[in-house]
């Protein structure tokens, strides 16, 4: 069972931080697309990998547009929900072998998934091996001023602690540079922040 399964099933969800803080997850947004998602969706051209696809709202939206897309998530609940939408998904850790390595044109990191594993540089370096030479990463960021931070978290104050990270719009350029990427653009829509990263 994934730590996020409770949120995937529609329950309220929050992260307890190791420093005593608490972050509310926008889990209701994971289930249905909203206008600001278009910033990501409009730039997904060619075969697309949706990492941490959750219940598959973006995977499904791209499928309906005729974009070849594969959702990837460690949660069996997430994969089942994505399949139920008529999209394709596999249960896999992004750091494990994946289909089509080196041939993906676009990779999605929505809903803060740039924080997967607690090391955005390592995650982006892994993605660099997944995409083609002309590929891109489309990622959601924290607002400007959030900077870069990482620490252990756990869902709803129970269960296993696991590493997570947050990258603000003000910190994405140096983070991307360490992983061999350049930020092509940074944009705001619907109080959310996004970027497109391309290989240097």
For 37-169, where are the alpha helices, taking DSSP H only? 38-41, 57-64, 76-84, 120-130
Which pLDDT score, from 0 to 100, does residue 149 have? 96
pTM of the model: 0.94
* 29-61 tens-digit pLDDT: 888 899 999 999 999 999 999 999 999 999 999
- Rounded Cα distance, 164 and 158, in Å: 16
Which pLDDT score, from 0 to 100, does residue 173 have? 98
* 76-93 tens-digit pLDDT: 999 999 999 999 999 999
> Could you say which residues of the chain have pLDDT below 70?
1-2, 6-7, 9-11
Which pLDDT score, from 0 to 100, does residue 4 have? 76
Which pLDDT score, from 0 to 100, does residue 10 have? 62
Q: How many domains does the chain have?
A: 1
Domain with residue 80: its CATH number is 3.40.50.150
Domain boundaries, position 114: 5-199
Return all residues near 72 (Cβ < 8 A) that are at least 6 apart: 49, 50, 51, 52, 53, 89, 90, 92, 94, 98
DSSP letter at 32? S
């Amino acid at each position: 069972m994934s730590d996020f399964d409770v949120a995937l099933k529609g329950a309220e969800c929050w992260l307890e931080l190791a420093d005593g803080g608490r972050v509310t997850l926008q889990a209701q947004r994971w289930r249905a697309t909203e206008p600001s998602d278009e910033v990501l969706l409009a730039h997904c051209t060619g075969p697309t990998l949706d990492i941490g696809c959750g219940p598959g709202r973006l995977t499904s939206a791209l499928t309906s547009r005729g974009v070849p897309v594969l959702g990837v998530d460690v949660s069996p609940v997430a994969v089942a929900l994505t399949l139920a939408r008529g999209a394709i998904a596999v249960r896999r850790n992004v750091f494990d072998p994946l289909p089509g390595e080196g041939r993906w044109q676009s990779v999605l990191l929505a809903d803060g998934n740039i924080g997967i594993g607690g090391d955005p540089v390592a995650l982006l370096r892994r993605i660099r091996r997944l995409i083609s030479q002309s590929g891109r990463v489309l990622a959601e960021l924290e607002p400007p001023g959030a900077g870069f931070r990482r620490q252990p978290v756990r869902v709803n104050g129970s269960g296993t602690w696991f590493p997570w990270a947050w990258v603000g719009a003000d910190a994405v350029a140096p983070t991307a540079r360490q992983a061999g990427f350049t930020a092509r653009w940074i944009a705001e829509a619907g109080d959310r922040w996004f970027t497109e990263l391309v290989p240097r």
